[in-house]
Chains A and B, each alone.
Chain A
Amino acid sequence: NFMLTQPHSVSESPGKTVTISCTRSSGSIASNYVQWYQQRPGSAPTTVIYEDNRRPSGVPDRFSGSIDSSSNSASLTISGLKTEDEADYFCQSYESSNVVFGGGTKLSVL
């Protein structure tokens, strides 16, 4: 089994751009798709990125995903930050039937 490691917290100002990383401990990040979920306080998670870089309908194009094989990591980038983006963000991937979530990153927009 592998692990996905995320920074515990990040902060940035409104209007700026922030990137949240998700590093896979073993096996190639490119071998299995990475998803990103947003969870606002007191709410259920919602999907903001699936299959590395695809956005569900309704998710603004300020949200983008990418993978970097050299660092074996995935990234979620949010541009033009808004206060409503303040939330916990979780990455997720899998290996066959095993599903793995990252520990989550708390994004503060201040």
Chain B
Amino acid sequence: VRLFDSGGDLVQPGGSLTLSCAASGFTFHSFAMSWVRQAPGKGLEWVSTISGSTGTTYYADSVKGRFTISRGNTKNTLYLQMNSLRAEDTAIYYCAKALGVAAIATRIDYWGQGTLVTVSS
């Protein structure tokens, strides 16, 4: 299993950014996928999860209405569209593969290497 995160950048408050995660080594559409972030010097914070096949999505309250998770099962790629970015969104964003296909009961078995998003003027 390999997960390669990309797309992190420096962006101004109020701006937008899209992260990608290229997956390989497993049957992508058979597993839910998540984004987890880590602010500098802080712990892990769940951001969002999408189911494997139905596209059901869930979000943390801190990003609901601003972030959109999606997946391209033919491209084996996970995305995170981030709008209305705030300074408190500054973090390393990790994509993560879940053990099951459903977007509930999230249990992670593999992690990407992370991509840094900095929100600052």
Selected from A47, A97, A101, the residue in CB contact (under 8 A) with B49 is A97
Verify if B94 is at the interface (C-beta below 8 Å from A): yes
Please measure, in the bound complex, the distance between the C-alpha atom of A103 and the C-alpha atom of B38, giving whole angstroms. Answer: 11
Please state if A37 and B103 are interface contacts (CB–CB under 8 Å).
no
In the assembled complex, which residues on chain A have CB atoms less than 8 Å from the CB atom of B10? none
**Is there an interface contact between A37 and B113, defined as CB atoms closer than 8 Å?**
no
C-alpha spacing A31/B45, complex, angstroms = 21
The answer to whether A50 and B44 have CB atoms under 8 Å apart is no
Interface residues of B in 92-118 (CB under 8 A from A): 94, 99, 103-114
A37 near B104: Cβ-Cβ < 8 Å: no
- Any A CB within 8 A of the CB of B26: no
A104 interfacial by beta-carbon distance below 8 Å? yes
Give A43's nearest chain B residue, CB to CB.
B113
Kindly name the residue among B60, B104, B107, B112 whose own CB sees the greatest number of chain A CB atoms within 10 A: B107
- Establish whether residues B112 and A90, one from each chain, have CB atoms under 8 Å apart when the complex forms: no
17 contacts between A and B (CB under 8 A): A33-B107, A35-B108, A37-B111, A44-B112, A44-B113, A45-B111, A50-B108, A94-B105, A94-B107, A97-B106, A98-B58, A99-B34, A99-B46, A99-B106, A101-B36, A101-B44, A101-B45
Binding site for B on A (CB under 8 A): 32-33, 35, 37, 44-47, 50-51, 56, 90, 92, 94, 96-104
Binding site for A on B (CB under 8 A): 34, 36, 43-46, 49, 58, 60, 94, 99, 103-114
